[in-house]
Structure 1
Amino acid sequence: MKAIIFAAGKGERMRPLTDQTPKPLLTVNGKALIDFHLEKLAKAGFSQVIINLAYKGEMIKHHCGNGHRYGLAIEYSEEGPEPLETGGALNLCLPWFQNQCFAMISADIYCNFDYVNLAQRIRDLESIDAQANLALVANPDHNPKGDFSLQHDTLRLAHQQTYTYSGIGVAKPTLIDHFPLKRQRFPLREAFYYWLDKSKVHGYLCSGFWSDVGTPARLEALQSSPTGTH
């Protein structure tokens, strides 16, 4: 199974911490954020990972290497000095997916979700008429209005009870390949909205701990929390 980890962002909200260190290499209790994801992917049976790179990408490549120490084969998609955003990143990686469903994970989140569930979601997605299945979480304080509502297992635009996209999901390459507005640089949410309007984006609610490590204060809170040991 394959996965992509989004790791190209500049982490501007995390400054000054990201002035010298790319956000995926910031640590929680001594371990880089990206390492938590790679280790859980390997444990769940994933074998191949591609990491997109832009800001201080060489540092990420040096840290993760070829992936053997995680039990993975890691490749890199180098975007240049300016990130292509998440949609552009997937578009650039389409040949690598080889028409296989894949997991997608934002490097700058921290959670204790079991990625075995992601592997099962990939198998389920292969057999249904949907483009993606996204993990949703209860709305955090910094996103009180949420992103989507969930009707049975299908995502709708936010109304009534809402949830936040966790930055974790599974998708088919056609999510991007058949998106008529794809281009070199665009956010993935545009493709979500396009397919959501056709009832082809599914979702599921995750319990457990989750944090968008978007500010130095949120990172600091993880250091002293028992959740930072997962």
Structure 2
Amino acid sequence: MRLAPSSKPIPAVRAMILAAGRGERMRPLTDHTPKPLLQVRGKPLMQWPLDALLRAGISDIVINTAWLGEQIEEYYGPMPSVSSEPPLGSGERTGFRYSSEERDFGYALETAGGIARALPMLAPREQDVFWVAAGDIFAPEFPFVRETAQQFAASGKLAHLWLVPNPPHNPKGDFALGSDGLALNEAPEGSTRHTFSAIALYRRQFFEPPWCTVLPGNPQGTAAPLAPLLRKAIEAGQVSAELYRGTWIDVGTPERLAQLNADE
């Protein structure tokens, strides 16, 4: 991440795991089990990003849920654990918190709507920078480094995205990477776009006016996608990015899930 370092420390950064999707492409596996709880190499799919966050010392984590979300809340409960087993214990550590979209509104709020809904828990005014990672990606070695968040906070940008080489199911990619470290909507001549990994750092202001039209805290339950917001902020030069070349798999179909388990 090529951003100016800052000597000013920032408070402990919080994180959000996106776990509210229906998992349509995963049916029939997701008819009775939420996609984030499908087993990957002996533990739930969403446990992989959770473990990476917890290893990095990030234990204040918000999880948004919708489809069969009660199963996720029942499985994990309020206490985090770097383990393939359901968390059990005395509750001495900071716990997971849930933004239960199905219970609150009866439907999922999509990515931007879901983040906006969780914003009061996720980014209090004294700390406006936070991580977001999808609960259906396999990136077991991704480094959620505190210094990276601190550099992002010092940059003044609204978002920092991790891009990955394009997988076969997304050959045209999503965003390009400029030589200055800024994300681009279109690739310059001679280069290519890359796929958004669904891992990013965001600033609270990105989910407030004028960038986001959803009311802060999303009390009305507005469903809103993330891509239009990102494209608008990228056009304004407010989004940085970098290429991640570690293990990354979008576990989006039963075939990809089976292959990942077969390669164990």
Instruction: Report the equivalent of 1:167.
Output: 198
After TM superposition, the score normalised by the length of structure 2 is 0.81
Structure 2: runs of 5 or more not aligned: 1-12, 83-92, 215-221
Following the alignment from structure 1 to structure 2, what is the Cα–Cα distance between the partners of residues 225 and 206? Answer: 21
Q: CA deviation at 1:67?
A: 2.4
Following the alignment from structure 1 to structure 2, what is the Cα–Cα distance between the partners of residues 72 and 9? Answer: 25
After TM superposition, the score normalised by the length of structure 1 is 0.93
Instruction: Report the equivalent of 1:141.
Output: 168
1:6·1:106 contact (CA, 8 Å) conserved in 2? Answer: yes
Instruction: Report the equivalent of 2:113.
Output: 88
What are the residue-to-residue correspondences of 1:27-176 with 2, within 5 Å?
27-70=39-82, 72-80=94-102, 81-96=106-121, 97-99=123-125, 100-117=128-145, 119-152=146-179, 153-159=181-187, 160-176=191-207
Structure 1: runs of 5 or more not aligned: none
Instruction: Report the equivalent of 2:15.
Output: 3
In the alignment of these two chains, the number of paired residues is 225
Aligned: 1:185 with 2:223: yes
Q: CA deviation at 1:161?
A: 1.2
Following the alignment from structure 1 to structure 2, what is the Cα–Cα distance between the partners of residues 69 and 206? Answer: 26
Aligned: 1:12 with 2:24: yes
Q: CA deviation at 1:29?
A: 1.6
Runs of 4+ residues over 6 Å off in structure 1 = none
Q: Could you say what the CA RMSD is over the residues aligned between the two structures, in angstroms? A: 1.4
Per-residue deviation, residues 149-205 of structure 1 (Å, max 9, x unmatched): 100210011324110000101111111113444232111112111111110101010
Greater mean alpha carbon deviation, residues 64-73 or residues 78-87: 64-73
Q: Percent identity?
A: 35
Following the alignment from structure 1 to structure 2, what is the Cα–Cα distance between the partners of residues 15 and 54? Answer: 16
Closer, same or farther: CA 122–111 of 1 in aligned 2, 3 Å: same
1:2·1:48 contact (CA, 8 Å) conserved in 2? Answer: yes
Structure 2 residue matching 1:126: 3-state secondary structure? helix
Give the letter aligned to residue 124 of structure 2: Q
Q: CA deviation at 1:30?
A: 1.5
Q: By percentage of residues, which structure has more helix?
A: 1
Instruction: Report the equivalent of 2:255.
Output: 217
Closer, same or farther: CA 181–98 of 1 in aligned 2, 3 Å: closer
1:52·1:89 contact (CA, 8 Å) conserved in 2? Answer: yes
